[in-house]
Structure 1
Amino acid sequence: MSANGGILPSFVADNPLSPHRFNRPNRGQLNDPKPSVRVITPRLRNGIIFAVTAHVLWGLFPLFWRQLSQVDSVELVCHRIIWATVILSILVPIQLLRSSQDEFQAYLGKLRRPSTWLLHGVAGMLIFANWMAFIWAVNHGRVLEASLGYYINPLLNVLMGVVFLGERLSRPQWLAITIAAIGVSAMTAAAGKLPWVSLVMATSFASYSLAKKKAQLDSFAGLLIEMSVLIVPAIVYVLIVHSRGEGSMGQISWRIDALLVCGGLATLVPLGFFAAAAQRTPLALIGILQYVGPTLQFLIGAVYLGETMGRGRVLGFSLIWCGSAIFLANAVRAAKKQLRQAKTLPSDSVGLDGVSGVSQHVELVTDDASVDR
């Protein structure tokens, strides 16, 4: 038998001019029945690009919604609900038509459960509160408070996991939460009042994430149910303000009309990128990237819009950044651990993204069900 295992004669395999020449495997490779695979695959690379794109778009949201500052915040959120529902009513049926018979039946089975409608109904109310607080903050010169809400949100997510899901936190996570709480207290003491916009945003979004985690429908299908719960009150409100001559659609300019319609699209485009990323990227890596959005929002508020940064706010943000850094370092360690595990996986246990054989349960969780911003 030839040195190459009998596949080709040795003079062909070892001939440097032969087109069939290949490097002779070492003893370890010959004895390893389950070779490892490359972790950074094109699919994983695309997933990271999709995740970064989604978070950058969310981070730039203040620039978009400020173009609609002439519109009342409640009416603006109602238009966002209406136009998002219109687009979802087209996208979700297309999604279902492209799904397998088993997936379609599973979807129908979930729709028949009262718990699905209850959880998504609650989620709809929570996302309304979150959208309302965010748009109000943006259009009233409080983008820094909005960014603060999304810095606090990951910490509040894991705290809710302890309270409602019985999860256990590591010491770094407890330390991060404690430091962030001190930061919020410092801001409260300096301003003489709670940063209520930040707390409403963080609490509503963390509660929304918890409801979506239990509901287990994908992003678009779940969001359509949530919007269907809100669509009737939204339409009624818009009709009432128009009957009073206070409505914005068709009353200000064609540019405002176009932006109101695009509000639904702006809601769904980053969500689509994130859903694509979640299918290709480990949750630990996605969790690390979630700080891109609030960081961009902070820069927009502090640098572009020139919002005031008093001493109390500087101290509060510094403490919250410190807590977030500890939290982020913990997430980076989790991501590195996943990648190390992936490198040792046999090829027959690895999915298309190169890491799907690795457990994706990490202490920092941001799945596609919790990002309908």
Structure 2
Amino acid sequence: MAGKSRGEQRTGLLNGFAAYGMWGLVPLFWPLMKPAGAVEILAHRMAWSLAVVGILLLVMRRWSWAGELLRQPRKLGLITVAAAVITVNWGVYIWAVNSGHVVEASLGYFINPLVTIAMGVLLLKERLRPVQWAAVGVGAAAVLVLTIGYGQPPWISLCLAFSFATYGLVKKKVNLGGLESLAAESAIQFLPALAYLLWLGSRGDATFAAQGPGHAALLAATGVVTAVPLICFGAAAIRVPLSTLGLLQYMAPVFQFLLGILYFHEAMPAERWAGFALVWLALSLLTFDALRAARRGARALREAARAAGAATAAVDTVPVPGGVAGVVGVAAGTAGAVAGAAVSAGPAGSPGTS
């Protein structure tokens, strides 16, 4: 990111705030669509998302990926899995918000980084640093405390966290751009969504036409609400460091949590505060560890650059057996060793590489 101008980084930061701000305020949007039920809202979101991203991709003339995707059955299968998992995530979230569980939904996105790390250990055999292990342990204790507080496991939070972590894992293997991926997933979702809406209409239970043009416009706007934050996130991701994005991601659940308490007036007894406090402690540990790992990585790269520069300068001043090639080989070996140490520390915000 060193090559990015301050203007570009400022633009990226504003886009990041916009993306996570919109995701954080989205609980205000879903109740506006009542009396539509959660499944009807979900079906409209899937259908209108395809329309919105389709228009955007047509305007930008970004369709070459579609033919390549159709020729790769394995990647197409992964996209199908991603579409199924995000459908569950969207549906549970919409139902939770419209049923008075905004705080519990926010918890799902607070614990999502912890679930992602746990899945990395279990499925990808990644190694964790000690602080990351501590964070996962504190997170597990938080879930236990919240289970006691709610009188049952916080299944909404767990469903949102595990579905989104699974979605992220699948998306990592697919390696498609944000808009392209949303278009492919929405294309898979479209026919089931359309079939459900037609069935609902045939029963006389659809609200799209029955509740007036304002209600219909709100249902159609679900596609915009889905696409616009994703566009802002994409603009931020190419302009600001990943460590900055990692910190910004907490904006969304913080906003949702505050909305749940201050706007929707959801109950927060002492045991729930205790559970949330443990979650925030776990996230603080993760953030501290990620920033420390990022600093170590940056320091190691600077040392590698200095070592390479010193070895290059020595070529002009000190005769070395083996000639210039020998000096360059020694310098390359030194730089490689230091850079390797940086990589072994793991990238910021993620478990160490195995």
TM bin (shorter chain): 0.7 to 0.9
Give SS of 2:29's match: helix
Q: Deviations over 1:47-103 (max 9, x none)?
A: 122112111110001011121232100010000001000111112233345x9xxxx
Aligned: 1:364 with 2:349: yes
1:90 alignment partner in structure 2: 55
Q: Say whether the 8 Å CA contact 1:87–1:264 is kept in structure 2.
A: yes
1:338 shift after superposition: 6.2
261-270 or 67-76: bigger deviation? 67-76
Aligned: 1:242 with 2:201: yes
1:11-160 → structure 2 map (5 Å cutoff): 41-97=6-62, 104=64, 108-160=67-119
5+ residue gaps in structure 1?
Answer: 1-36, 347-357, 366-373
2:229 alignment partner in structure 1: 270
* C-alpha separation in 2, matches of 1:321 and 1:328: 10
Give SS of 2:221's match: helix
Q: Say whether the 8 Å CA contact 1:76–1:260 is kept in structure 2.
A: yes
2:152 alignment partner in structure 1: 193
Aligned: 1:288 with 2:253: no
The number of equivalent residue pairs is 314
* C-alpha separation in 2, matches of 1:59 and 1:253: 28
* C-alpha separation in 1, matches of 2:236 and 2:3: 19
Letter in 1 for 2:81: V
Letter in 2 for 1:80: R
**What TM-score do the two structures reach when normalised by structure 2?**
0.82
Cα 1:80–1:329 shift into 2, 3 Å: same
1:45 shift after superposition: 2.2
Q: Say whether the 8 Å CA contact 2:138–2:282 is kept in structure 1.
A: yes
Q: Deviations over 1:171-213 (max 9, x none)?
A: 1111111111111111112222111110100000000000000
Identity over the aligned pairs, expressed in percent? 38
- Comparing both structures, which one devotes a greater share of its residues to helix? 2
* C-alpha separation in 1, matches of 2:303 and 2:225: 41
Q: Say whether the 8 Å CA contact 2:291–2:348 is kept in structure 1.
A: no
Picking from 228, 231, 252, the partner of 2:190 is 231
1:274 shift after superposition: 0.3
Give SS of 1:60's match: helix
1:115 shift after superposition: 1.1
* C-alpha separation in 2, matches of 1:343 and 1:259: 52
1:332 shift after superposition: 2.8
Q: Say whether the 8 Å CA contact 2:261–2:267 is kept in structure 1.
A: yes
Letter in 1 for 2:138: I
1:344 shift after superposition: 8.6
**What TM-score do the two structures reach when normalised by structure 1?**
0.78
- Note the aligned Cα RMSD (angstroms): 2.5
* C-alpha separation in 2, matches of 1:265 and 1:201: 22
